[in-house]
Structure 1
Amino acid sequence: MDAFFILLFILPFLFSSCTSSTAATIPPIIYLNNSRDPSSWRNDNLIDMNVNSTDGSRVRALLSRNKSLGLGFVCGFYCTGDCISYLFSVIVVGGGNPSVVWSANTDRPVKENASLILTQDGNLVLQDSDGSNVWSTTTAGISVLGINITEFGNLVLFNESESVVWQSFDHPTDTLLAGQRLYEGQKLISSSSATIPNRSLYYATLTMGSGLAAFTQVDKGDPQMYYQLVPEPSSIDQSSRKGHCRLLTRNENGSSSSGSDYTDLLPGGFLVNLGTSQEPFGSNRSNLPLDSAIEYIRLNSDGHLKLYRHESETEAREIVDMVTSDLGVCQHPRLCGELGLCQEGKCGCPKGVKGFQYSNGKCSRTTPFPLSCQSAPDKQQLVEIRNVSYFNVIDSNAAIPNIKDVEGCKQACRQNCSCSAAFFRYDNNVSDGYCYMPSEVLSIREGEIPNYNFTSMSYIKVEMPSEAPDGGRTRLIAIIAGSGSAVLVIFFVLIVIYRTKFCKLSTEEGEDYIHQVPGMPMRFSNEELRVATRDFKERIGGGGFGSVFKGVLPDGTEVAVKRLYKMGHAVREFLAEVETIGSIHHFNLVRLIGFSAEKSCLLVFEYMSNGSLDNWIFYRDQKPCIDWQNRKKIILDIAKGLAYLHEECRQRIIHLDIKPQNILLDENFNAKISDFGLSKLVDRNDSQVLVTLRGTPGYIAPECGQSKITVKVDVYSFGIVLLEIVTGRRNLDGTRSESSKHLLGLLQNKAKEDQLLDIMEDLDDEMVYHREEALRMIRIAAWCLQNDHTRRPLMSTVVKVLEGVMEVDTSINYEFIHAMGSSSVSDGHVSTAQRVSTAQQASVLSNPR
């Protein structure tokens, strides 16, 4: 009897001991038995772990790998609520509610009594309770010794030599674990949302040469990119990037990679592409050792791409939302519904646009789309919405090829029945723009996108209200009849005034003015140029004031015909170009062959088969398009052209818009300066000239904010272009890190470190051989960029230095006013407000031509 009471006393302690050691009895590895029978586990027979969840989730464990203090990975069956369905998964346990980081059957849960079978021929199969196969590793016929869960959460099948036969890391679902690689071609796919069941709306993948990107699926057309983790150079300033997400790149062992590109999330929250250069995600990071925490990136069902961290005894916490951290909450593609307008996270419908209604936090059309394809074009209109952009303007691959100007973009939308809206943007310092006509238009964002610098325009197509078939005509007849002849007289007077003011007067005054210019080039009729261009068929360029078309004259001469389709600024530009280059000739200036001013302003130039310089010098993540010798030759050509304009003409000519887009290349890569629409003539007796602010942001000299300027403003612009040619970088690139987005700022910092060559985009074998020449070129550029214009050299001096006749000034100041971006100077001082407002004003004055 005494023994019985003793047994009753110690039994609870034995039971408690068994329960507390349950986790320890779950093995991390299971070996296949030696018999011919398969190994099999039913979900109702596995150990039900006590995970202390608050959301009703349960975990039945097959394998378990402890990481630290109870935190670790479990492979088994996961369920929530009443547990009528299960996922075979890898789960993080030990810190708050369990979290699924990989699942074999996300879209096809199994029921109670489902089985996992490791067959004798090496295939791991998931069967539902009715015996139907739900999922397998498809490894039948491969020798498998066992199954293992690693300390990084990788479910592995291995053979006798302990080599991996199959692993869950090769089949990602919606999560990328620390230590796991996402290879090119693989995707993170979000689970289906509660609002749209059985359909995944988002996925993330590694895009070619562009880093990790997230896309949303649409009902019509291709998926649309809404987030891109742009690769950054490994020399990025780590301290300045706290709270942001960046993908850094390198090559294995410092050499080029021969395998596929991949993204690798390393322990500690570092996202890396092919390399060891690392940068943490977010701030306020714990000082815990890496082996005491679990981190992963998850693409949630709502499209947010987030980094999470599990620590022992704590709930999983969000480190950073990668999408909103970089681009703001309005970057979410579905936040505000169809054509919904997002401003600082608040939704609404486009202002001033009829045919939309706002309800339940979303915007939608009140009439179905597409609009009637049979309706006449004049029954539809494009309503311009200012200061807004589409979320996927970060994806230049989505742009429509061959449409580079606003008018072409609008016309394409008008002619496309299914186009519900068109979006157009100009990048900073880029003449050509990008046109987008999404097959399905989601949310629109108002205001600027952080880290992206561009001018954006949006045009929404709406159908104009129609009247009753006869009612409109009857009312019009009644009005005309009732008003009598007075209405007709006023009507015709208005027409005459309009034609006189906006069409005839501008052109005729232009013609009268042109007659006074001596040594004018050939005059063509509009019909001659229409025939030469085959009715303006082949468009080869253009911008804010007009388009350029390829043509062939009757004698076989290939030409470029520039058609200016607006009055006002366009006519003044037309007159400026004719007056400036009509009577000057130099090999490094694009030759004006002729013009026409009958009905519209047309300029005929020599045809430059290799297009503009900007298409050849910016080669980020690629090899240079042109070799070093050609780059040197182009620099010298530009310098000679400017020297001629500044010092050899009867009147000095200040170009005022020197940039790569205005440097054209012929078939032999001879460089010629073009586009004199903003140029200014200066008498040789005068050293300065009065001029309003003009030019392109990033190329404008500091003194351009003042009333008087000299030819040295062109010298400054030449210095920027020289830097861009030598380095392969744009002077202002919003896709780069804060420390390297401004080329002048980077040059300034590298000069302090005496490492000028570090600003080169790619110091390949050719450039290593020419490093001394490249260093000399960079110093010439810096000389041209001096803040004090009197310390900049004349272009004739630059030519002599480039030809080796003279040496570079040794007292160059590398403290640049514009080191942090485009700005203007007023009374010698620069303010942040000026940097913004001036750049915007200049971009209007210098819309790409």
Structure 2
Amino acid sequence: MFNPIWFSAHHIMQCRCTKSTADSPLPAPPAEVTPPTPSTLPAAIGPTSMKPNPPSVRRVVAILAPVGGFIFLTILFLVSFFIRKRRTQRQHGMEQEEEFGELQGTPMRFTFQQLKAATEQFKDKLGEGGFGSVFKGQFADERIAVKRLDRSGQGKTEFSAEVQTIGSIHHINLVRLIGFCAEKSHRLLVYEYMPKESLDRWIYCRHDNDAPPLHWSTRCKIITHIAKGLTYLHEECTKRIAHLDVKPQNILLDDNFNAKLSDFGLCKLIDRDMSQVVTRMRGTPGYLAPEWLTSQITEKADVYSFGVVVMEIMSGRKNLDTSRSEESIHLITLLEEKVKSDRLVDLIDNNSTDMQAHKQDVIQMMMLAMWCLQIDCKRRPKMSEVVKVLEGAMNIDINIDHHFVVNSANFGSAGNVRSSAPPLASDVSGPR
């Protein structure tokens, strides 16, 4: 159908286009076209990834990048540190096992599983000390006592000292070390079993102690055995051995009340050509000789401790007893007062009628203890002299100073002295 309106519009536009073409000059060359920059692109056309990051985002990235790197490096360092530490510990354990394996004359070596089975999973505890606990066990036909050292207590030096020292010497008045275990982190010592346990159970009168008081003759025998054990250590070995922890807890008794020294974890060797040895303070308060204040230590420190033990055996009480009145807490201080007032009889164990019946003999034993308690270590007897006195072959030195306790102000500084070396199997004498 003919549409006049459409025709008129089309005709007018066609005429305008013809006229424009005819009247216009030649077209000018095209102008140089500049491509649009991302910032000029319409929002609907420009890609979203082309948008600039806000300043806050850039700041967060700048902070997190180095922090993340630091955390990564820290984790990497810690991982490598622990790997290296475990490797070092493994190598150290292997070296230590090799070290014990090369020792001459050392006792039997047990595995941890053997001792675990021998003690029935460490069921029967006999006692507990500063370095670990002692358990009763059975290995083959022999009863044993197994000391299991805790990991935070006795270190390699102390463990080595005990294994190499007591494992290489033999004396009737020293506890026999049957064997040991040095497996990974486990450190155990295997001793002969002492049925009467330690001396402190028999001499301290406590409400929880049902043991009967010891007779005078039994106490004398125990004192003599201790003296003989110390004589062997001090004078009969190739090198002098200072026990350095002589106390009733470290004196064990068999069925017949024969006494034996035990626990050699703190012992030190002293060369025969050395007058003294420097070592860090060790031992138990109340039994320490005055020279510990200067670190000038010889085997005479054991003689002082022996004197304290003798006084405890004679009086039936602890050297330090806080349950008593203030003036009676310290036994050795009380001894000073009693000897000056000629009242030594007051110190005799009043729980034993047999001890009271031997008053004069007990006082003579106290005089021997006082000789051992001299502040000047050079005035103390040798342990062999003590044995001679106990056996009646020698008299007590009557020139005794009745001062047994000293303050640190009375001592000078330590002189030029050498330290002792760890004990070696070759440093001690053969079986006796």
TM over 0.5: yes
Structure 1 counterpart of 2:313: 725
Change (3 A) 1:540 1:805: same
Amino acid at match of 1:496: I
Distance 1:811 1:594 in 2: 46
For residue 616 of structure 1, report the CA deviation from its aligned partner: 0.7
Q: Percent identity?
A: 52
Q: Deviations over 1:685-716 (max 9, x none)?
A: 22321211111110000001213211100000
Amino acid at match of 2:349: E
For residue 581 of structure 1, report the CA deviation from its aligned partner: 0.9
Distance 2:227 2:377 in 1: 17
Matched, 1:493 2:80: yes
Distance 1:780 1:568 in 2: 35
Amino acid at match of 1:677: G
Change (3 A) 1:492 1:550: farther
Structure 2 counterpart of 1:594: 179
Larger Rg: 2
For residue 636 of structure 1, report the CA deviation from its aligned partner: 0.5
Distance 1:534 1:494 in 2: 38
On the 8 A contact 2:251/2:261 being kept in 1, the answer is yes
Q: Deviations over 1:560-606 (max 9, x none)?
A: 11111215742221111012111100011011111111121111111
Q: Deviations over 1:122-154 (max 9, x none)?
A: xxxxxxxxxxxxxxxxxxxxxxxxxxxxxxxxx
On the 8 A contact 1:620/1:761 being kept in 2, the answer is no
Distance 2:386 2:145 in 1: 31
For residue 514 of structure 1, report the CA deviation from its aligned partner: 2.3
Change (3 A) 1:519 1:572: same
SS in 2 for 1:687: coil
SS in 1 for 2:326: coil
Change (3 A) 1:689 1:517: farther
Q: Which structure carries more strand by proportion?
A: 1
Match of residue 561, structure 1, among 146, 149, 172: 146
Distance 2:81 2:196 in 1: 47
Q: Deviations over 1:187-227 (max 9, x none)?
A: xxxxxxxxxxxxxxxxxxxxxxxxxxxxxxxxxxxxxxxxx
**Within 5 Å, which residues of 2 pair with 1:383-782?**
490=77, 492-500=79-87, 503-504=89-90, 506-553=92-139, 555-566=140-151, 569-599=154-184, 600-619=186-205, 624-762=212-350, 764-782=352-370
For residue 761 of structure 1, report the CA deviation from its aligned partner: 3.2
Distance 2:336 2:294 in 1: 24
On the 8 A contact 2:214/2:352 being kept in 1, the answer is no
Amino acid at match of 1:566: R
For residue 817 of structure 1, report the CA deviation from its aligned partner: 2.1
Q: Deviations over 1:774-824 (max 9, x none)?
A: 011100000000011011000000001011111111111111225xxxxx7
Distance 2:351 2:111 in 1: 51
Amino acid at match of 1:609: P
Change (3 A) 1:568 1:513: farther
Distance 1:535 1:506 in 2: 27
Amino acid at match of 1:810: I
Distance 1:613 1:506 in 2: 38
Distance 2:232 2:408 in 1: 28
On the 8 A contact 1:521/1:595 being kept in 2, the answer is yes
Amino acid at match of 1:545: F
Amino acid at match of 2:151: K
On the 8 A contact 1:506/1:571 being kept in 2, the answer is no
On the 8 A contact 1:703/1:825 being kept in 2, the answer is no
Change (3 A) 1:603 1:812: same
Distance 2:180 2:372 in 1: 35
Structure 2 counterpart of 1:806: 394
**Within 5 Å, which residues of 2 pair with 1:295-444?**
none
TM-score normalised to the size of structure 2? 0.74
For residue 671 of structure 1, report the CA deviation from its aligned partner: 0.7
Paired residues in the alignment total 343
Distance 2:255 2:331 in 1: 30
Q: Which structure carries more helix by proportion?
A: 2
Amino acid at match of 1:587: I
Change (3 A) 1:753 1:829: farther
Structure 1: unaligned runs, 5 residues or longer: 1-480, 819-823, 831-849
Distance 1:682 1:515 in 2: 25
Q: Deviations over 1:282-339 (max 9, x none)?
A: xxxxxxxxxxxxxxxxxxxxxxxxxxxxxxxxxxxxxxxxxxxxxxxxxxxxxxxxxx
Change (3 A) 1:494 1:678: same
Amino acid at match of 1:592: L
SS in 1 for 2:370: helix
For residue 773 of structure 1, report the CA deviation from its aligned partner: 1.1
Change (3 A) 1:763 1:614: closer
Amino acid at match of 1:828: F
SS in 1 for 2:328: coil
For residue 556 of structure 1, report the CA deviation from its aligned partner: 1.6
Amino acid at match of 2:292: C
On the 8 A contact 2:348/2:355 being kept in 1, the answer is no
For residue 640 of structure 1, report the CA deviation from its aligned partner: 0.4
On the 8 A contact 2:130/2:153 being kept in 1, the answer is no
Distance 1:560 1:524 in 2: 13
Structure 1 counterpart of 2:411: 828
SS in 1 for 2:127: strand
Distance 2:70 2:292 in 1: 56
Change (3 A) 1:620 1:598: closer
Change (3 A) 1:764 1:538: closer
Change (3 A) 1:507 1:703: same
Distance 2:211 2:237 in 1: 39
Q: Over aligned residues, Cα RMSD in angstroms?
A: 2.5
Q: Deviations over 1:644-692 (max 9, x none)?
A: 0000011110000001111111111111101111100112222321211
Distance 2:153 2:381 in 1: 36
Change (3 A) 1:768 1:565: closer
Q: Deviations over 1:360-379 (max 9, x none)?
A: xxxxxxxxxxxxxxxxxxxx
Amino acid at match of 1:713: A
SS in 2 for 1:690: coil
Amino acid at match of 1:721: V
Change (3 A) 1:738 1:525: same
Distance 2:361 2:255 in 1: 25
Amino acid at match of 2:145: A
**Within 5 Å, which residues of 2 pair with 1:117-128?**
none
On the 8 A contact 1:580/1:681 being kept in 2, the answer is no
TM-score normalised to the size of structure 1? 0.38
Distance 1:602 1:763 in 2: 38
On the 8 A contact 1:624/1:728 being kept in 2, the answer is no
Distance 1:574 1:679 in 2: 11
SS in 2 for 1:707: coil
For residue 492 of structure 1, report the CA deviation from its aligned partner: 4.1
